[in-house]
Amino acid sequence: MQIHLAAFLIAGNAAHSQVLWRHPQSQPGGFLKLDYYARIAQTLERGKFDLLFFADRLAVSTRYGGDHRYGVAHGDQDATRLDPLPVLGALAAVTSHIGLGATRSTTYSQPYSLAREFSTLDHLSSGRAAWNVVTSVNQGEADNFGLRETLGHDERYDRADEFLEVAHKLWGSWAPDALQLDASKGQYGDADQVNAIAHQGRHFNVQGPLNIPASPQGGPVIIQAGSSHRGQDFAARWAEVVFGIQPDLPRMQRFYQDLKGRAAKFGRAPTDIKVLTAMMPFVGNTLDEAEEKRAQHNALIDDPLVGLSTLSSHMNVDFSAYPLDAPIEDLQVAGMQGLFSLVKELSKEQKLTLADIGRLYASGVLVPQIVGTAADIADWMGNIIAQQGADGFVITPAHLPDGFDDFVDLVVPELQRRGQFRLDYEGDTLRSYLQS
Ligand SMILES: Cc1cc2nc3c(=O)[nH]c(=O)nc-3n(C[C@H](O)[C@H](O)[C@H](O)COP(=O)(O)O)c2cc1C
């Protein structure tokens, strides 16, 4: 069984770790420069990663304390983010194999412009584009796009379903051979092979066709990360890659079985969907060295409020209104419900206060930190795959731009020696790597 690898990035000062920018090995302002991203992407391509992907949100955090002051002053996950798509356009020029994924919201985009963006990226990268489909959860985003409040949880997914239908119709509106380019006959395109889509629906009316010929993958690889029941149904219908955050093997297995079990309902095979679970590796030549690296990162969390600011943004709840030294309240949230259920479970199981949750969240949302030598980490990963906890991993860094180096230089060769990971890219497109 081959392991699939993705890298988690934000085009800003954080990753899952919200203290990453304070790490002595980080370049805090690097995220505004192209060479920073080029360095990261080239390292990941050296490590034969299937893809890198940028998470995204469309607002600075305004939930915690009711305005932007806290998040901006301390640098929470939403303090600064470049638009990931132009970053990927630039990375297409300095890489040649790795998949390039960006997050775009179905609530705050239109299918026609989004279909163009990803079709363009797919052409310019020769078939490496991926779209992380999100429905957007927080009030700050609604406030930036003229909505009085965010759409209801299930309504967001209803709109997203129709959005995906329209986007796929647009990507299919040019048959693969429709662009003829026969200069001697003066035949540019075969109009019979280009079709309007004439979509009339509840949320969208789109005539089409797209003004871009069929791209190498025929449309980007679809990524999704919803973890509520409605979110998992959406993923089972559309996604080719699903990201999960699960802290332990039993939870990974439940998520994996649940998601794959939904595939048949949408006429798909379980293997059509690759489930990648997030991990934050700390790799050393010895266990002590690895432990030291983890301690160095986690010591940067001197204040639980950075994590609570991000938690407020994720859950669309102002946690400044709750006592820090008490367990987390049993709230119903409209934000990331799957992740919030996990927060509540962990809080109960480990008797964590809101301040403890804040520190945990700041260290890496709820992504498990995996510490050890390359062999230890490869053992841990191999076991997750063998026990059907995941098809692969989303690797999240503790510092940047060099935070993937240990993994690529030490763990990847170990996985390759064990025959669990590709020695080189096979196939021409991101979709072909995922299917191998
Ligand atoms: C691992 C993970 C990564 C996510 N990344 C993003 C993101 O980059 N941007 C965003 O707006 N939402 C992101 N989300 C939110 C989901 O796309 C989804 O909107 C949210 O989880 C609410 O859906 P749910 O209630 O089904 O979980 C992420 C969620 C998870 C679990």
**What average pLDDT is seen over the chain?**
95
Q: What is the pLDDT, as a whole number, of residue 33?
A: 98
The residue extents of the domains of the chain are: 4-174+208-287+369-435
> Cis link prior to 209 (omega < 30° from 0)?
yes
134 lines ligand 1 (CB under 6 A): yes
Q: How far is the CA of 242 from the centre of ligand 1 (A)?
A: 11
The helix, strand and coil proportions of the chain, stated in percent and rounded to the nearest 5, come to 45, 15, 40
List, for residues 375-434, the tens digit of each pLDDT value: 999 999 999 999 999 999 999 999 999 999 999 999 999 999 999 999 999 999 999 999
Residue range 65-79: mean pLDDT, rounded: 93
Question: Greatest CA separation found in the chain?
Answer: 77
Distance CA 350, CA 403 (A): 29
The yes-or-no verdict on residue 88 having pLDDT over 90 is yes
Q: What is the pLDDT, as a whole number, of residue 436?
A: 82
Locate all alpha helices (DSSP H) within 47-149, ordered by sequence. Answer: 69-74, 84-94, 111-124, 139-144
232 lines ligand 1 (CB under 6 A): no
106 lines ligand 1 (CB under 6 A): no
Helix (H, G, I), strand (E, B) or coil at 107: coil
Any idea what DSSP says for residue 302? -
Distance CA 341, CA 360 (A): 15
- Which of the following CATH numbers is that of domain 4-174+208-287+369-435: 3.20.20.30, 3.40.640.10, 3.10.450.50, 3.40.50.10490? 3.20.20.30
Beta strands in 391-432 (DSSP E): 392-395
List, for residues 150-196, the tens digit of each pLDDT value: 778 789 999 999 999 999 999 999 999 999 999 999 999 999 999 99
Distance CA 242, CA 208 (A): 29
Which of 304, 258, 309 lies closest to 59 in space, CA to CA?
309
Q: How far is the CA of 314 from the centre of ligand 1 (A)?
A: 8
Which of 250, 245, 247, 252 lies closest to 225 in space, CA to CA?
245
Q: What is the pLDDT, as a whole number, of residue 264?
A: 96
Q: How far is the CA of 138 from the centre of ligand 1 (A)?
A: 11
Determine the distance from the C-alpha atom of residue 61 to the mean position of all C-alpha atoms in its chain, rounded to a whole number. 19
The yes-or-no verdict on residue 334 having pLDDT over 80 is no
Distance CA 247, CA 135 (A): 24
Mutation probe of ligand 1 site: the residue of 8, 227, 277 with most atoms within 8 A of C-beta? 227
Question: Residue with the nearest Cα to atom 31 of ligand 1?
Answer: 225
List, for residues 277-323, the tens digit of each pLDDT value: 999 999 999 999 999 999 999 999 998 999 999 999 999 899 999 99
